[in-house]
């Protein structure tokens, strides 16, 4: 029965037909993307399997999330903004990686090559949907020209909790040969917020008054916290925001949260370089919360406590 049901899901998805569960959360396949919709049909999340053709994005990689929306359907991420056209919604990549070949999968290109460095999808699987949650898995390859440097297995779960869309992402990164992540103030998992929004940064302690960190100085990054929230006021006066949580089992992390760039960026290589050992996966887990209204501190505390 399990094999039959799995085969049915695969058939439905390959045909591009809607997958529904109890008439609530839904998962769709679109050209080059996987889409999750809420009970009213509103877009909650798009996982961009392929690089969009009509975009100013200056990297060749797909395999990122954009947009992530609140339960009301308000998109809170940005793609290829004019100030940093390599930023792409919610993505993973480091600015300087050294191994068999050097690579910049972040998309800056100043300290390692970005030409020919692409994150490519090898397939989406294990798609599921319930009344109030949905998810899927993806396998991706990080390639330098034709050379496979990293195999990425990504698993995601999306749920609606009160005024918030909650995205859980787990990355398992495996290499055949040792690969080093150079110490940098930024890089890794990043959420890029909407450029036209007026923003403030908050943490469990309240509004953050620390200055924006300097991208060349890791010691200027913000200290670890159970969550940081980028509260937004959109041009029409709408309040919303997005918070990020880094799992306690991730490597020690500092945060490159920058108001002007609208990014939340927990950096595992800000304290010290990180080495991916051959055949030993590096596992990274993050939770992203896109909420309607002001910062829901009690909800964020509860969601963070689930990980402690």
Residue 39: the pLDDT is 86
Per-residue pLDDT of the chain (308 residues; tens, 9 = 90+): 333 222 333 323 333 334 443 457 999 999 999 999 998 899 999 999 999 988 899 999 999 999 999 999 999 999 999 999 999 999 999 999 999 999 999 999 999 999 999 999 999 999 999 988 999 999 999 999 999 999 999 999 999 999 999 999 999 999 999 999 999 999 999 999 999 999 999 999 999 999 999 999 999 999 999 999 999 999 999 999 999 999 999 999 999 999 999 999 999 999 999 999 999 999 999 999 999 999 999 999 999 999 87
Residue 53: the pLDDT is 87
pTM of structure: 0.92
Residue 18: the pLDDT is 40
Residue 3: the pLDDT is 30
Domains observed in the chain: 2-305 (2.70.98)
Residue 23: the pLDDT is 56
User: Between the CA atoms of 205, 211, 217 and 221, what dihedral angle is there, to the nearest 10 degrees?
Assistant: 10
H or E element at residue 9: helix 2-14
């Amino acid at each position: 029965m399990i094999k039959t049901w799995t085969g049915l899901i695969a058939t439905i998805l390959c045909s591009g037909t809607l997958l529904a569960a109890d008439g609530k959360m839904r998962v769709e396949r679109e050209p080059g993307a996987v889409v999750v919709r809420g009970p009213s049909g509103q877009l909650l999340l798009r996982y961009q399997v392929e690089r969009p053709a009509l975009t100013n994005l200056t990297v060749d990689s797909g395999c990122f999330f954009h947009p992530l929306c609140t339960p009301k359907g308000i998109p809170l991420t940005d793609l290829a903004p004019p100030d940093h056209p390599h930023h792409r919604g919610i993505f993973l990549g480091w600015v300087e990686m050294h191994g068999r070949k050097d690579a910049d999968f972040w998309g800056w290109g100043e300290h390692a090559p970005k030409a020919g460095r692409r994150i490519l999808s090898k397939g989406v699987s294990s798609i599921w949907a319930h009344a109030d949650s949905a998810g899927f898995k993806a396998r991706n390859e990080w390639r330098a020209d034709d050379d496979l440097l990293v195999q990425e297995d990504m698993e995601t779960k999306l749920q609606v909790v009160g005024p918030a869309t909650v995205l859980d992402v787990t990355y398992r990164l495996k290499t055949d040969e040792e690969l080093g992540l150079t110490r940098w103030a930024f890089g890794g998992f990043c959420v890029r917020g909407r450029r036209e929004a007026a923003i403030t940064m908050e943490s469990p302690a309240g509004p953050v008054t620390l200055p924006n960190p300097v991208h060349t100085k890791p010691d200027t990054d913000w200290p670890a916290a159970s969550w940081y929230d980028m509260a937004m006021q959109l041009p029409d006066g709408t309040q919303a925001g997005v918070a990020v949580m880094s799992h306690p089992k991730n490597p020690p992390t500092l945060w490159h949260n920058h108001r002007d760039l609208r990014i939340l960026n927990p950096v595992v290589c800000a304290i010290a370089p990180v080495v991916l050992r051959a055949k030993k996966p590096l596992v990274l887990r993050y939770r992203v919360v896109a909420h309607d209204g002001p910062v829901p501190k009690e909800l964020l505390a509860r969601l963070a406590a689930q990980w402690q």
